[in-house]
Amino acid sequence: MGRVTTLVEGGRIVTATDDYVADILIEGGRIRAIGDLAGTEADEIIDASGHVVFPGGIDPHTHLDTPVAGTVISDDFDTGTRAAAVGGTTTIIDFAIQEKGADPRSSLMRWHEMAEGKAAVDYAFHQIITHLPDSLLPSLDGLVTEGVTSFKLFMAYPNVWMLDDGAIFKAMRRTAENGGFIMLHCENGYAIDALVKESLARGDSDPIFHARTRPSLAEDEATRRGIALAEMAGVPLYIVHMSSAGSARAMAEARERGVRAYAETCPHYLLLTDDRLAEPGFRGAQYVCSPPLRPADHHEPLWNGLAAGDLQAVGTDHAPFFFEQRLVGKDDFTKIPNGLPGIEWRVGLLYHYGVAQGRFSLNRFVEITSTNAAKLFGLHPRKGEIAPGSDADLVVFDPAGSTELSLATQVTNCDYNPYEGMVLQGAISAVLLRGRAIVRDGRYVASRPVGSFVRSAESAALSSSTLVS
């Protein structure tokens, strides 16, 4: 039998740079040809007329099946990736976490085992580094050769995950030599720890004090310090989960100076406010994440940063927990496991609040939900692109449809939906992963999980010839 062929007919194809109507011929999971292909025979025909066809989303920030604070994130690679698929995401980049004192490569093996044979969409990995004596610096080189080229370091959580500025600087310089890429969690850990101790001593232990003890200035300071360290080391930098207006301003200034700094924000920092942490009956615990949700005046600067190219990507920092799992922090907000669900709604929320509400173009939407992450994490042009030779990871989207977000219909394994009741313009009709329709009429239809590991190559941020804005 020859290789399976699929013809996606008559869709409006939108990439980061183009917007035109054409047919797409897929063979063996890759795009073979694009153009007027009417009459071409194929094993399967998908009618995309009246629909927008864009590259499958890439979520550059997820946490599945991960042990956190004595419990485990409630979505594993089965439920979490099915949720991603129905939401139009065809590749996730999940974080392996180094066990303190161990070589990071041993944790990476665990993540491979957790994902293999279970994932509904393709996946790559970042490696979180929690402990980096000089003796472990060579293991970063080893990760790069194994297709994991991005390393997340923390400026928060002293004595837990934080690296000091010296270790961060050394890691940055190492990546200048080995083709890796540093991602930073920017919050001033020491200042936050001091505020947390004072808060608990006063008896201020409810979820809202999680936000009050992590002020936006603690993020802004660390963002500026992280950018300065990367400038000193002469390497590009990616800042994860940016939540504050001041940090967005720091990005604009750094990029204006020509610094290769890149940043991601998350749907919850664009759409939800810190009021949620004050919900009664300890429900506020469901909105504890770090950095915390901010007052509404931080939203528009982040949206503007995305539109202007100061911020380049939107990841979800998907980390769901059931209410019961949060109860451990009933008398002490520092014990509440951190994180919000989001993997399922990122693409739809960005289309509705970004494109439909006129904040940015469809091309920019594709860039920040897919293409930029592919470029920054060494997956482009295999991922994040609609071109001959690229993987046929496609979303067939009905702009005239609508989608209601609700716990009752979600795939995400969690007992609440932070976006409950929102009605979004547009609906996902079909999702193709390497040419196979894994979602039809908005429903996951694959009979078995077909996602596989994708190796990351060097970040495009390392080559001055490739612009990511």
- The 3-state DSSP class for residue 29 equals coil
Q: For 114-163, what is the HEC assignment?
A: HHCCCCCCEEEEEEECCCCCHHHHHHHHHHHHCCCCEEEEECCCCCCCEC
Determine, following the binding rule CB under 6 A, whether residue 460 of this chain makes contact with ligand DUC.
no
Q: Which is nearer to ligand DUC, 110 or 443 (CB)?
A: 110
Sheet of strand 122-128: strand arrangement:
57-62, 89-97, 122-128, 150-154, 181-185, 237-239, 261-265, 313-314
Amino acid occupying residue 267: P
Compute the distance between CA of residue 291 and CA of residue 194 in angstroms, rounded to an integer: 16
Among 12, 32, 174, 185, binds ligand DUC (CB under 6 A): 185
Query: What's the closest the beta carbon of residue 315 comes to ligand DUC, in angstroms?
Result: 9
Query: What's the closest the beta carbon of residue 273 comes to ligand DUC, in angstroms?
Result: 19
Query: What's the closest the beta carbon of residue 95 comes to ligand DUC, in angstroms?
Result: 7
Q: Which is nearer to ligand DUC, 24 or 64 (CB)?
A: 64
**305, 270, 291, 279: which is closest to 339 by C-alpha?**
291
Query: What's the closest the beta carbon of residue 220 comes to ligand DUC, in angstroms?
Result: 17
Structure tokens at 446: 């694959």
Q: Which residue is nearest to Zn ion (CB)?
A: 185
Q: Which is nearer to ligand DUC, 122 or 317 (CB)?
A: 317
Residue 174 touches which of Zn ion, ligand DUC, none (Cβ within 5-8 Å per kind):
none
**138, 136, 113: which is closest to 125 by C-alpha?**
113
Strand partners, 26: 6, 31
Compute the distance between CA of residue 428 and CA of residue 89 in angstroms, rounded to an integer: 11
Determine, following the binding rule CB under 6 A, whether residue 317 of this chain makes contact with ligand DUC.
yes
Among 62, 338, 390, 410, binds ligand DUC (CB under 6 A): 338
Q: How many residues belong to the site for ligand DUC (CB under 6 A)?
A: 8
Query: What's the closest the beta carbon of residue 266 comes to ligand DUC, in angstroms?
Result: 9
Residue 167 touches which of Zn ion, ligand DUC, none (Cβ within 5-8 Å per kind):
none
Q: Which is nearer to ligand DUC, 6 or 316 (CB)?
A: 316
Compute the distance between CA of residue 238 and CA of residue 95 in angstroms, rounded to an integer: 14
Residues in contact with ligand DUC by the rule CB under 6 A:
185, 240-241, 290, 317, 319, 338-339
